[in-house]
Amino acid sequence: MGCRTEPNTACGLNPRASLNRRKCGAVPAAPRLLAPSCAPSARLLLQKVTKTHRFSAVLRGQTNPRGALLLVTNPPTVPTGAPIVVVNGLIKQFGRFAALRGVTTEFGAGKFYAILGDNGAGKTTLLRGLAGLAHPTRGTISILGKTPQEACRDLGYMAHPSLLYDEMSGMENLRYVARLYGIAGDERCQQVIRAVGLDADLGRPVGQYSQGMRQRMSLARAILHDPTILLLDEPFSNVDVHSAREMAGLLKHMRDAGKTIFVVTHQASLLEGVADEFIWMQAGQIVNRTAQLDPLPPPAEKA
Amino acid sequence: MNFWPIMLATLAKDIRLEWRSKDALNAMLFFSLLVVVIFVFSFDPLAEESRHIVGGLVWVAFLFAAVVALNQTWARELRNQVLDGYRVSPAPATALFVAKALGNFIFVSVLEALMAPLFVVFYNLHVLGPAWQLIPVALLGTWALVVNGTFFAAMSLRTRSRELMLPLLLFPVSIPAVVAMVAATTNILTGENSAHFYIVLLLTYDVVFTTACLGLFETVLQAE
């Protein structure tokens, strides 16, 4: 026994509506059916997603043939709040320019971190360091007790560019990424595409997507392998306010399901009430960590 | 991670992208066509002369054309930083390298198959040696070009003038292979000498450089 859901075809739409839906890439509202045998975290996620926004449409695609909820298939094993990412004396230099200047900090599991700061503060470099894309000049990064490269299966990374091939459709892109992570079949790809509010059957190449759709597909790419830690660089840039709130809502629900989420953003207000902690960076250092969104970051301390 | 499924998925993706954009194939085809036509008008060779010079012409045309393809296939990975997407995945670097090299091998082989009849017609060629030996020479020679080309194209990927860097890096390393390809082809066309030595030389070159490229590619891929 697992979660029950209506088949995709029973959406109650007429053919014209279905055609329109396909053209715009959006997905219609979905029924809310949940079996008692679902995992508690999964049930919580499913219920919250259903209540809040049009991402509720994803529910139709969130069940496997047996009916088990799959959006979060890999419940984190680290207790909430326990250190999951440990950064020690991290320095990153590009030539003579130091992008990170001795960052030492810890991040707890199951928390939502918003990384804020001016341009050039080192936010993206820190995120790339956590993703294993920027190698430390000095210092160490430990993720679940491993190096970022060793922990790559536990990391989902969304960069400022989309990391998608413009010439391929969203489904083709995700299918390729799924093979890189050893995920067989299309079911998971369809689930995450629906989870971000897009249509898995949309055949248009990504290059013809709107910026908002591209950002959503990029998020789908990041969550495809159900990582424990999500690293998102500017996920709300060039996205309309409504869609950005929906994305923030989805991330909040993923945090509630036990994921650790890092979001680099200039739109901090979107994460007010969503993020557990706001991390302020300035001149390559973390200068403050606050539970509430302060109007202004504190001045940088001299090293 | 499983090497073969990832390699095949990457190869299929590259072929699909090339089929849709035709960037590399079109560029290679027009470039080779221009080389053939320009040399025909420049030399106007007789059949006997053609047999002696066409080996060099063919491989120089294919070498230059391959450079165009090699740049294109990696440039595609830089758009939207999709290469970073591969780097953060658990997929092995060697799977990417082999897929790229095989993809380039297929593209350059298609070009050779299309251009070979033109060379025969324009240069009035009649093979006097064992013609079947042209097949191993073509296969080994093409692999020699693309395996090094794929590696050096990846190496020059993040340099500011990568279109210039690739030939500067690739051509000197390719000299032994080009010498062997040209000599083997000329020997087969003229039938004067055996091409056996040069085929073995090409085979050795391919084994050595394929091994070296596979061993070093992880470092190249993870470099910032």
pLDDT tens, residue by residue, B165-211: 888 999 999 999 999 999 999 999 888 888 999 999 999 999 999 99
Chain B residue with minimum CA distance to A160 = B80
Neighbours of A75 (CB within 10 A): 14
Is residue B104 within 8 Å of residue B73, measured between CB atoms? yes
Out of B9, B80, B88, closest to residue A179 by CB: B9
In which band, very low, low, confident or very high, does the pLDDT at B72 lie, cut at 50, 70 and 90?
A: confident
Element (H, E) at B180: helix B162-190
Q: Are B76 and A165 an interchain contact pair (Cβ–Cβ within 8 Å)?
A: yes
Phi and psi dihedrals of A69, rounded to 5? Answer: -70, 135
- Return residues 161-190 of B near A (CB < 8 Å): none
Q: Are B80 and A165 an interchain contact pair (Cβ–Cβ within 8 Å)?
A: yes
Q: Are A176 and B9 an interchain contact pair (Cβ–Cβ within 8 Å)?
A: yes
Q: State how many domains chain B has.
A: 1
Rg (CA), chain A: 19
Q: Which two tokens stand for residue A90?
A: 């991290």
Is residue A181 within 8 Å of residue A224, measured between CB atoms? yes
Neighbours of A130 (CB within 10 A): 22
Q: How far is B111 from chain A (nearest CA, A)?
A: 23
Q: Are B13 and A168 an interchain contact pair (Cβ–Cβ within 8 Å)?
A: yes
Return the amino acid letter for A264.
V
Give the dihedral of Cα atoms A139, A141, A145, A146; nearest 10 deg.
-100
Predicted pLDDT at A62 = 40
For residues B208 and B204, give the distance between their C-alpha atoms in angstroms, rounded to a whole number.
Answer: 6
Q: How far is B189 from chain A (nearest CA, A)?
A: 43
**Which residue range is the domain that position B111 belongs to?**
3-222
For residues B72 and B70, give the distance between their C-alpha atoms in angstroms, rounded to a whole number.
Answer: 5
Chain B residues in contact with A182 (beta carbon < 8 A): 1-2, 5, 90
Q: How far is B33 from chain A (nearest CA, A)?
A: 27
Chain B residues in contact with A221 (beta carbon < 8 A): 85
* Chain A positions with Cβ closer than 8 Å to B: 131-135, 152-153, 155, 157, 159, 161-168, 172, 176-177, 179-182, 205, 221
Chain B residues in contact with A186 (beta carbon < 8 A): none
Tens digit of pLDDT at every position of chain A (303 positions): 333 333 333 332 333 334 444 444 444 333 333 333 444 444 444 444 443 334 434 433 343 333 323 466 666 677 777 789 999 999 999 989 999 999 999 999 999 999 999 999 999 999 999 999 999 999 999 999 999 999 999 999 999 999 999 999 999 999 999 999 999 989 999 999 998 889 888 889 999 999 889 999 999 999 999 999 999 999 998 888 888 888 899 999 999 999 999 999 998 889 988 999 999 999 999 999 988 887 665 555 544
Residues forming beta bridges with residue A93, ordered by sequence position: A98
For residues A73 and A84, give the distance between their C-alpha atoms in angstroms, rounded to a whole number.
Answer: 19
ipTM of the assembly? Answer: 0.90
Predicted pLDDT at B133 = 93
